[in-house]
Structure 1
Amino acid sequence: MRIGYARVSTDDQNLDLQNDALREAGCERIFQDKVSSAKGDRPGLDRTFEELRQGDVLVVWRLDRLGRSLKELIAQAEMLAERQIGLRSITEAIDTTTSGGKLVFHIFAALAEFERNLIRERTKASLEAARSRGRKGGRRKALTKDKRRHVANLYRSRQHSIKEICDLMGVSRATVYTYVAEFANSIDGEADNEK
């Protein structure tokens, strides 16, 4: 059975073009969403995946209707392949039930992996170059070591609320907790040495 999935990003957009193309492609059932792909919840897509059975073909008007990124599309295509379900995109003329369609998807997957490796290698090379110049990774601390210790001491004194400490020192709540953790061992160690 061919099952279609259509999606538009906003309520203002119309699904007619996609629905007509999906019906013309032989889809017996069509599920749809009117939601941006950036949002996690796509109930129509969830229902589509629940409905699909071994031997079925998921048909979409265009691949970007199905996934947010190439990585997500590849993951979905692999999941469909494991369930022995085909994937067909009308606009891109890709059909994973054919050997040519499978080849195209494998090329996409290889290119995505190649891009991930390039990014990883460039990042590693940049970090090594920075270290050789004496730089450590990560962002610079917002406060000096003495001020960070002061934040930790203010927190431990329990005389001020987190919000008061944040306002006083000009840092976020998460930064306060980071500084408290940073000086947890050193302050405890100093206290032990004083005894």
Structure 2
Amino acid sequence: MTAVMIGYARTSTTDQKAGLDAQLRDLEAAGCTKLFKEQLSSVAKERPELDRALEFVREGDVLVVTKLDRLARSVADLVAITKALKAKGVELRVMSMGGERFDTSTPTGKLMLNLLASIAEFERELMLERQREGIAKAKADGKYKGRAPTARSKAEKVLALKTEGKTPAEIQVALEISRASYFRIIKESA
């Protein structure tokens, strides 16, 4: 029985289309016949495509990711994922590490995987720290204004449509705003 290679790709935002495309290209080149992809932050509580991938894999399969940080958000998260894979008899391959397989059934394999996850988590924390420092400097220099509020800029339109008798759902669809944004605008106008 030949192993089926299942690929999982993730980027943190929908703006990172090139990064997602590169991951998918690399996974296909590695021989993945089934791909799961999503564009959301690793800190999101739900990662539905990862859940689907973990449900999809069968004994003898190999779950392939391009980098460890695309799979897990922390060491504890990685341990939980690898434990679920091991219980199903599925191997993990991380391409950025030469495509090596990790035998997490051995103490050395567990140590290596945890060390690599710790390093990835450390790198992520350093990157976030540099990002916060850069934002603080830009704010101090008066160059950073933050993300432009999208829904709040539509407050007048929301109130006008409400006055016209439109339902909250109709207004949300028409102005492409969330339910929470709609009710926040209504509450702030009261």
Shorter-chain TM-score range: 0.5 to 0.7
Q: Using a 3 Å threshold, how does the CA distance of structure 1 residues 81 and 40 change in structure 2: closer, same or farther? A: same
List 4+ stretches of structure 1 deviating above 6 A: 110-113
Residue 9 of structure 1 aligns with which residue? Answer: 12
Q: What is the root-mean-square deviation in Å for CA atoms of aligned residues? A: 2.7
- The SS at the match of 1:91 is helix
Asked whether the 8 Å contact 1:61–1:91 carries over to 2, the reply is yes
Question: Aligned partners of 1:112, 1:27: CA distance in 2, in Å?
Answer: 23
Of residues 53, 62, 76 in structure 2, which corresponds to 1:57?
62
1:32 matched residue in structure 2: 37
User: Conserved in 1, the CA contact under 8 Å of 2:8 and 2:65?
Assistant: yes
Task: Verify the 8 A CA contact 1:95 1:102 in the aligned structure 2.
Answer: no
Pair 1:25–1:97, CA change in 2 (3 A): farther
Alignment partner, residue 107 of structure 1: 112
TM-score by length of 2: 0.53
User: Normalised by the size of structure 1, how large is the TM-score?
Assistant: 0.52
Note the residue ranges of structure 2 that are not aligned, 5 or more in a row: 119-190
State which structure, 1 or 2, has the greater radius of gyration over its C-alpha atoms.
1
AA paired with 2:5? R
The equivalent residue for 1:87 is 92
Q: What percent of counterpart residues are identical?
A: 42
> What do residues 34-86 of structure 1 show as CA deviations (whole Å, max 9, x unaligned)?
00000111111111011100110000010111110012112211221121100
| 1:96–1:102 Cα contact (<8 Å) kept | no
